[in-house]
Structures are given as C-alpha cells and as structure tokens.
Structure 1
Amino acid sequence: MDLKKSSGAEVITIDVHEAKNLLSQGYRYLDVRTEEEFKNGHVENALNIAYMFNTPEGRVKNPKFMDQVLSVFGKEDHLIVGCQSGVRSVYATTDLLEAEFKHVYNMGGGYIAWVGNGFDVTKPNPVEIKL
C-alpha cells in the first residue's frame, strides 16, 4: 500500500520540441534562471523571474518569486517554465502548481537542451571594438 500523499497537481515535464510547439500556440516562457544566466542568452520572448539567487553562501530561493510571477501572470495563463538544465524549473513549476496555476509545464533539459536542438535564442549584442 502506498501511503505517499500528493500535494496537489503533479509536475508535467515536456521536451523542448513539445515546448517549442506550445510556444507557437500562445504559451508564454518563464525563464527561472538568474539574471546573469538570462543575459547570456535565452529563449525568444522569454520573461525572466529568478527562482534562486547566487550569494556568497551559495544559491538561495528568491523569497519574492511567487509575488513577482503573480504581478505578471494570472493563474489561468499558459506557461512553460525553464531553467538552465531542468532542475530549478521543476521546483518553480511545483510552487506554481501549489499556488493553483492551472496550465504549467516544466521544460525538461532547459536552455541547454533548447540550444542543443538548434532552436532560436536571443543573445546579447556583441560589443564592437573599434581599432
């Protein structure tokens, strides 16, 4: 007998191909990486709200994450949550589902898998060096 209890909806992880398809159908991409990671390149039209911050003691959870998400998205919005490799996004997706967001998917493999499949990204403009 399984005594394990579920805390609401389960995280559904989709691969980058399905994520790309859903984005073309109106889903929004929530990038939960740090601002520094996001600035180095991200999925086109992504919105960045860091789930964790880098500190001298290591990474700590963003205490304002849910408030920041709720200031931009509604609980009925269709979201794909991604990070660098797919770990932080599982935690962020869990928090969103527990906050009663209805249409949220975790993108397995994260930004690394997105780039690895050759999908379009937005990167910073290189700095011009004048000689």
Structure 2
Amino acid sequence: MDSERKDAEVVTIDVYAAKNLLSQGHRYLDVRAEEDYKRGHVETALNIPYYLNTPEGRVKNPEFVDQVLSIYGKEGSIIVGCGTGTRSVLATTDLRNAEFNNVFNMGGGYKAWAGNGFPVNKSDSVES
C-alpha cells in the first residue's frame, strides 16, 4: 500500500469565485492548446498548454510543471482553467502533487467564464 500514489486534493471553484480571486491578485493559468487560447481567453491569462499537439497526436506536456514553476513559483496564487474544466482538473492535480499549495481549478472553464459575460481577450487571427 505504501507504493500507492495518493493525489493531493483539488479544490474546484466556480467562475464567480475565480473572478473574485483574480481581483485579489490570483493569476489565471490557461492550460488549453495555444490555438484555443488565441481564439479567446480570460483577460490577463497566461497560457501553458497541458497537452501538446504533435505529429503523433496529442501528448501530455512533459515540461508542464517545470514551466509553471519557472513563472509562478510554488507559492504563487493560481487559478487553473481550460475549455470546460476537465483538463484543468488534471493540470491542477499535477501541480498539487508537485506541492503547489495555492492552486484552484476553475469549474466550467473558459466556456463558463465567457458564458457568464465576464471579460475575455480575443485574437483577430489565429496562425496555422
């Protein structure tokens, strides 16, 4: 039983709580693919994809935790979001397991954020 991995607890918050925390200094980490991020994202969001699109298909970003660490540090106050809230749970779990302690998953993702009329940034063009 000692060899079993126990995932750290992920706390999921709704978009209203996320918006409130962002106004208090938390930072938003968008873990969607770069092309999705460019189509529209939460204002002030930083994009570090959890999955990468490769010629072999979609693969987990092997540098994800290190990339987040280099920008936010383990003590950073981070809200993790994706398109609908599924991928962000996986990303938040990885961060919590890596001892990031002030990390929250945003339930519903960008779809819920934009659907509630909260501010978004959209790029006029998406590069191929």
TM-score, length-scaled by structure 2: 0.89
Aligned to 2:18: 19
> C-alpha separation between the residues in 1 aligned to 2:51 and 2:5?
24
Specify the code of the residue in structure 1 equivalent to 2:59: V
Q: Which residue of 2 aligns with 1:75?
A: 74
| CA deviation string 1:60-109 (max 9, x = no partner) | 10011111111101111100000001011000000000000010000000
User: Which deviates more from structure 2 when the two are superposed, residues 55-64 or residues 45-54?
Assistant: 55-64
- Could you tell me which amino acid in structure 2 is paired with residue 43 of structure 1? V
Structure 1 residue 116 corresponds to structure 2 residue 96 = no
Give the residue type in structure 1 aligned to 2:66. Answer: D
Any idea what SS the aligned residue of 1:91 has? helix
How do 1:67-106 residues align onto structure 2 when only pairs under 5 Å count? 67-106=66-105
Partner of 1:51: 50
- CA distance in 2 between counterparts of 1:92 and 1:81 reads 7
SS in 2 for 1:71: helix
The root-mean-square deviation of aligned C-alpha atoms, in Å, is 1.5
Report the identity percentage: 68
Structure 2 CA distance for aligned equivalents of residues 17 and 105 of structure 1: 13
Structure 1 residue 44: deviation in Å? 0.4
**Structure 1, unpaired ranges of 5+:** 127-131
Per the alignment, residue 36 of structure 1 pairs with: 35
After TM superposition, the runs of 4+ consecutive aligned structure 1 residues lying more than 4 A away are none
Q: Distance in 1 between matches of 2:60 and 2:34?
A: 14
3-state SS of 2:72 partner: coil
Count of residues paired in the alignment: 122
